[in-house]
Structure 1
Amino acid sequence: MSETYSYEVAQGHGLPHDPFKAIVAPRPIGWISTRDAEGRGNLAPYSFFNAISDTPPVLAFGSSGYKDSVRNAETTGAFVYNLATEALADAMNGSSANFASGEDELRAMGLTPAACRCVDVDRVAESPAALECRVLDVIRLKDLHGDVTDSYVVFGQVVAVHLDMAFLRDGLFDTAAAGSIQRAGYMTDYAVVGPDSMRALRRPGSPEEAIAKYRRRK
């Protein structure tokens, strides 16, 4: 085995850049649309995002700072997750620019707003999939010393789903064909899910089967 580089976070990583985001990767992009108290739309990407439960279906996105998406979601109790894809990469990236508060990035980027069924928030019509969410909780994180940080996590339960029928194959959503784009390391690094990156892994029937299969591959 090769030599291991180890460090304690409190003492610093000693590297040109913090490897944390490169290790926990790829990460789905939470392309989050919201609406503020005045009814103005907002659209922004968050790389700290994922599904955390399927019963009920729950999503969570994390924000460094109390940004518009967090404020809007907490104020109105709703947000929408729009699937970011390779075809929409420039629009997604563009929506991360420092737009003025209250300016609707969805419309500014030339995307098409589409009404939702259960929440008063627009979704991105060009996105192959969108999940409407009602907010369950907004948490301001604390560190190990109990001190509050400037990081927030928004939890939302999915209440409605939108799927572009062009990506339904025999009733299954074709993830590879949709081509979702994900954060995969440092500032400019992204990965794309496509047919060549997919791999089928079925759960083993027993521990013995799992061990035997792994040993055969070594």
Structure 2
Amino acid sequence: MRIDLDPAHCDRTAFYRLLTATVVPRPIAWVSTTSADGTDNLAPHSFFTISCVEPPVVQFTSVGRKDSLRNIEDTGAFVVNLAPEPLFEEINATATDFPRGISEFDAVGIAREPSLRVEPPRVAASPVALECQLHSTLRLGDSTVVFGRVVHVAVSEDVMTDGHPEVTKLAPLSRLGRNEWGTIGGIRAISRVPYEPR
């Protein structure tokens, strides 16, 4: 037996909670931006993925018009910092609805480091940073999808094994439903099966 739900007849918040509890785990884009007046912003966005490889483009969705989105529209640049497990509490704290003009870096006590190709700073303790220039945005209802062309990647040597980022060293966090977060847990590896005509 199943429960049937029609989004057109559901409460918006209830349906949001259903979607975010079902589409799991979701990687987190810990997005750093700088406003036009020079204030640095840092916020986690859990609607995040790769859009394209050539050219390299990543995307995240701003649900509503948050400071990250406004700053990117104004300046055309942002950084996606990997959200690692050791910074769990700090990442959660940057989701606080601070008033515009207050930097989450300063309010939460997160160290910055300069980016190489864009103005917004990187999170110094994040093992991977994707420096992005705005490619385009797409408005969908109450949300805006932000596409960023990756113009530089900075990876900590500490997370590399044989020239490749090692997931257990990256220790990425993910978002689940409600107030739940996920860690990498167990890892399974399997090779793809090539098609062989019979």
- TM-score by length of structure 2 reads 0.92
Tell me which residue corresponds to 2:19: 20
Moved over 4 A (4+): none
Q: Which residue of 146, 153, 178 corresponds with 1:161? A: 153
- TM-align CA RMSD: 1.8
Counterpart check, 1:201 vs 2:190: yes
Equivalent residue number for residue 7 of structure 1? 5
Any idea what SS the aligned residue of 2:74 has? Answer: helix
| Alpha-carbon displacement from aligned partner over 1:63-115 (angstroms, at most 9, x marks no partner) | 12111100101110000000001101100000011212111101221111100
Aligned equivalents of 1:208, 1:25: Cα separation in 2: 35
CA contact (8 A) 1:135 1:155 kept: yes
Give the CA deviation at 1:207: 6.6
Equivalent residue number for residue 132 of structure 2: 133
Q: Distance in 1 between matches of 2:22 and 2:73?
A: 30
Tell which structure's C-alpha radius of gyration is larger: 1
Partner of 1:188: 179
Quote the residue 2:164 is aligned against: 172
Letter in 2 for 1:66: R
1:29-40 correspondence to structure 2 within 5 Å: 29-40=28-39
CA separation in 2, counterparts of 1:139 and 1:7?
Answer: 27
Q: Secondary structure at the match of 1:92?
A: helix
Cα contact 1:86–1:192 (8 A) shared by 2: yes
Q: Distance in 1 between matches of 2:89 and 2:148?
A: 26
In 2, Cα distance between equivalents of 1:56 and 1:178: 24
**1:29-88 deviation line (CA, Å, top 9, x unaligned):** 111000010111000011111112222211111112111100101110000000001101
Contact 1:107 1:113 in 2 (8 A): no
Q: Give the structure-1-normalised TM-score.
A: 0.84
Kept after mapping to 2: 8 A contact 1:34/1:41: yes
Aligned residues with identical type, % of pairs? 39
2:143 match: 151
User: Are the counterparts in 2 of residues 114 and 123 from structure 1 also a CA contact under 8 Å?
Assistant: yes
CA 1:67/1:95 → structure 2, altered by over 3 Å: closer, same or farther?
Answer: same
1: CA distance between counterparts of 2:196 and 2:33?
45
What is the CA distance between 1:199 and its match in structure 2?
1.1
Partner Cα separation in structure 2 for residue 136 and residue 116 of structure 1: 18
Distance change (3 Å), C-alpha of 1:26 and 1:208: farther
* Structure 1 residue identity aligned to 2:10: G
CA offsets, 1:125-163, max 9 Å, x none? 00011100000112221xxxxxxx321111101000011
> Corresponding residue for 1:68?
67
Shift of 1:206: 1.3
Contact 1:131-1:160 at 8 Å conserved across structures: yes
The aligned amino acid for 2:167 is T
1:33–1:123 CA contact under 8 A, matched in 2: yes
One-letter amino acid of the structure 1 residue matched with residue 111 of structure 2: T
**Contiguous gaps of at least 5 residues in structure 2:** none
Asked if the contact 1:29–1:183 (Cα under 8 Å) also holds between the matched residues in 2, the reply is: yes
